[in-house]
Amino acid sequence: MKTLRGRLIRTLTVMLVLVFLAQWLLLSVAIRRVSQGQMLAHLDHDSGALQATLEFDAAGRPRLDTHGIEPVYQQLHSGHYFVIRVDNAHSLHSASLGGFALPTAPIRVGEKFDYHAQGPAGQPVLVFARSEKVAGHELTLFVAEDLSETNREIWQLSLASLAIFIPLLGAAVWMQRLAVQRALQPLAGVRDQLREVGAGKNAQISGDVPQEIKPLVDEVNRLLVLLQRRLNQSRTALGNLAHALKTPLAVLFRSAEDPAAPPQVQQVLREQAGAIRDRVERELRRARLAGTPGAGAGAYFNPTSDLPVLTRVLAGVYREKEIDFNLSMPDILLPFDREDMLELIGNLADNACKWAAARVAIAITAPVTGGDAQLGITVADDGPGCSPEEMQEILKRGVRLDEAKAGHGLGLNIATDIVDFYGGRLDVDRDPQLGGLRVSITLAQPSSAQQAP
């Protein structure tokens, strides 16, 4: 997965490498230019010295005074060479050439320039050329020097500078990495605060944030406030609606008992009013189960803190049974919506309490390692249970096995809807220990669980 930090580090690293490479190349070129500049100055000096040794005999033929010529021009293939042309008719060559014809370029009187050529042994040479009028003669001098040793020294110096640049580049990349991490540290703080919001510790993201991400944080906070407000409004409206329906329901029940009403009408009124009453009671109970305090919208589910509150509510609803709740759960934050889990487990536990004699067991297992970690939920009771055929029937919407019991067949079906939403699985069987119905649920965790603080 690509990250913003990784992208910044890669981009800046490439830029640093290019900058250091450009600096190294510029340094190498500068060293070469300085070296060749000094070499050209030396060749210009030698050309002047050679011109001073030039003499003409009575016949006008040029000759050189060998005593004034540097010894390096007298040694064969010494790396120092010259060619002197007089009036384009006579040529004088250094003994170091050994008969090799040094490549020359056309030049006009008064010009000076330099060029690269090939020496007697095939080595590169730098040639300095100049042309002047001397004592009525057109004099052209070509003075050359071997570049092999100079190029080798320049290359060694470039490698030495590269050996310095590489550690400097590594240090620059390391400091740049630290700078990027420090610059992105506020994003890590926002991430941690979002986790706390998801865990139900905070309602909003607080604290100072960089100006660049402040609009994003403000928008997230606005959406969190809106979500919490909508959730509270929905719960309030649901409770108000349920309470408002209780009085009309009472009127319907009284009408159903009116002796003047036909028996068929009384039966229809009792059935429909009973269905509405059961639905109202379920929604009121659901509001009590999901409306437990201590978390905001979208909070993570912590079984250790949330299930005891749920069982206390159920114990109050079924106080006449004095149900003993056996809870087994890990003390971790699970990355599931708290309201969804309370509704899911609340429906299953409510159904178990209806049929239980005295005991209800709720177990949650949540492996936190591995890429396929799954959440396991088991709710069982010590009631009469049901046959395998009946187990298939109770998962159908609206099906009830005992019409005498208060309630309806939507509980398990709503649980199935929540399980399907999370891509999980729901199974029913008989609990081997309690003997009653056991509902087992497996949900794939969307992300790794966190240890509860």
pLDDT tens-digit profile of 15-37?
A: 988 988 998 889 888 988 898 89
Domain extent, residue 264, equals 199-298
Among candidates 298, 295, 329, which has minimal Cα distance to 311? 329
For residue 288, the SS3 value is helix
Taking residues 60-77, report their average pLDDT: 83
Q: End-to-end CA distance of the chain: give it in Å, rounded.
A: 29
**97-141 pLDDT, tens digit each:** 888 888 888 888 889 999 999 988 889 999 999 998 887 788 899
Rounded to an integer, what distance in angstroms lies between the CA atom of residue 179 and that of residue 8? Answer: 11
Which among 235, 265, 298 is the end of a domain?
298
Residue 160 lies in a domain: no
DSSP 72: G
Degrees, nearest 5: CA angle 427-330-351? 40
Taking residues 304-325, report their average pLDDT: 89
pLDDT higher than 50, residue 71: yes
Same domain, 453 and 304: yes
pLDDT of residue 288: 53
Which among 298, 315, 348 is the end of a domain?
298
Same domain, 350 and 431: yes
Q: What CATH number is associated with residue 10?
A: 3.30.450
Residue 447 lies in a domain: yes
Rounded to an integer, what distance in angstroms lies between the CA atom of residue 114 and that of residue 37? Answer: 10
In the chain, pLDDT over 90 holds for what percent of residues? Answer: 15
Same domain, 293 and 306: no
Least confident range of 63-72, 241-250, 330-339, 425-434: 241-250
| Amino acid identity for residue 7 in this structure | R
Rounded to an integer, what distance in angstroms lies between the CA atom of residue 185 and that of residue 278? Answer: 53
C-alpha distances in angstroms, 187 versus 175, 182, 202? 19, 10, 17
Q: Mean pLDDT across the chain, nearest whole number?
A: 80
Taking residues 433-449, report their average pLDDT: 79
**How many Å separate Cα 443 from the centre of its chain?**
27
Q: Are 374 and 444 in contact (CB under 8 A)?
A: yes
**Is the pTM of the predicted complex or chain greater than 0.85?**
no
Same domain, 9 and 142: yes
Residue 38 lies in a domain: yes
Number of structural domains found in the chain:
3
In the chain, pLDDT over 70 holds for what percent of residues? Answer: 85
pLDDT higher than 60, residue 399: no
Confidence tier at 87 by pLDDT (50, 70, 90): confident
Same domain, 358 and 400: yes
Q: Which two tokens stand for residue 255?
A: 């009408």
Residue 287 lies in a domain: yes
